Structure 1
Amino acid sequence: MNDTLQELLAQEEELQFDEFTNDEALRLGLAIVAIAKEEIGKGIAVHIENGEHPLFTHYMAGTSKDNIYWVNAKKNVVNRFGHSSLYVGEKHKAEGTTFHEATGLSSEEYQGEGGSFPIIVRGQGIVGTVTVSGLTGEEDHRAAVDGIRKLLGK
């Protein structure tokens, strides 16, 4: 396993919640929006949901309906594979193939690109997703991870 894959798995191990409530979803979403405004300087889409329904959605100025597609396609990867969408895409690249060649999944519903990260509660597992769209996949991933770190005080 290469260093990138190890780092991505380490993030999933490190960035876990003791609990994840609707209020935490709101704080996480607002933290990511603040990061986009203050540090990135570009508009992004942020979507957070639990296994049942959306908890936070915000599309900043500069986003478009295309971001709806990317949010859903990346979120679907986390829900299916149980890892960040960046990890899943990078894993297939490391194996010398592409996400779509390896999985055979529809590109209309799945994209192994960075930007969606599992919301993990210790002792419970994955309870939802946080997804960012509007930048490169790596930057989307970083915004989601930085938001979680900020919320967790790490």
Structure 2
Amino acid sequence: MNDLMKTLLAQEEELQFDSFTNEDALELGLIICRIAQEEIGKGIAVHIENDEHPLFTHYMKGTSQGNIYWVNTKKNVVNHYGNSSLYVGEMYKNQGTTFKDGSGLPLDDYQGEGGSFPIRVRGQGKVGTVTVSGLTGEEDHQVAVDGLRKLLANK
């Protein structure tokens, strides 16, 4: 396991909630939109869902229909593996292969690119996902992490 993978797993351990409500999803989505607007200056797509249905979706100015594909394929990776989509992509690189060649999953439905992160509740495990699209995979991941950190600091 390389250093990046260790860092990504440490983020998943750090960024856990005692509970996660629909109102938390709304607040998280708005925080992430503010980060994109005020700190990055670019439009992104944000999608948050629990393991049953969507709770927040917003496509900022500058996004396109292509962002729908990226949101869904990155989110599907988190739901399949239980780890961030960036971690899963890095896991395959660390094994000397690519997500495409190593996973055997259809790229129409799964992409091991950064931007989707598991929402975890202590004692329950993964209860949902937060997904960002519109920047590089690493930047999408960081925006999701920054949003989660800010929300947890407010709780």
TM-score (norm 1): 0.99
Alignment of 1:109-124 (within 5 A): 109-124=109-124
Query: How far does residue 61 in structure 1 lie from its aligned partner after superposition?
Result: 0.1
**1:45 corresponds to which letter in structure 2?**
A
User: d(CA) in 2 for partners of 1:113 and 1:102?
Assistant: 14
User: d(CA) in 1 for partners of 2:143 and 2:121?
Assistant: 20
Query: How far does residue 103 in structure 1 lie from its aligned partner after superposition?
Result: 1.1
1:6 aligns with 2:6: yes
User: d(CA) in 1 for partners of 2:135 and 2:103?
Assistant: 25
Query: How far does residue 100 in structure 1 lie from its aligned partner after superposition?
Result: 1.5
Query: How far does residue 7 in structure 1 lie from its aligned partner after superposition?
Result: 0.1
**1:44 corresponds to which letter in structure 2?**
I
User: d(CA) in 2 for partners of 1:79 and 1:50?
Assistant: 10
User: d(CA) in 2 for partners of 1:3 and 1:100?
Assistant: 22
Gaps of 5+ in 1: none
Instruction: Report SS of the residue matched to 1:117.
Output: strand
Structure 1 match to 2:93: 93
Q: How many residues align?
A: 154
Structure 2 match to 1:143: 143
Instruction: Report SS of the residue matched to 1:38.
Output: helix
CA RMSD of aligned residues (A): 0.8
Structure 1 match to 2:58: 58
User: d(CA) in 1 for partners of 2:3 and 2:105?
Assistant: 26
User: d(CA) in 1 for partners of 2:19 and 2:29?
Assistant: 16
Instruction: Report SS of the residue matched to 1:153.
Output: helix
User: d(CA) in 1 for partners of 2:40 and 2:8?
Assistant: 21
Structure 1 match to 2:77: 77
User: d(CA) in 2 for partners of 1:18 and 1:27?
Assistant: 16
Query: How far does residue 122 in structure 1 lie from its aligned partner after superposition?
Result: 0.3
Gaps of 5+ in 2: none
**1:30 corresponds to which letter in structure 2?**
L
Structure 2 match to 1:104: 104
User: d(CA) in 2 for partners of 1:139 and 1:66?
Assistant: 17
TM-score (norm 2): 0.98
Structure 2 match to 1:130: 130
Query: How far does residue 136 in structure 1 lie from its aligned partner after superposition?
Result: 0.1
1:44 aligns with 2:44: yes
Query: How far does residue 72 in structure 1 lie from its aligned partner after superposition?
Result: 0.1
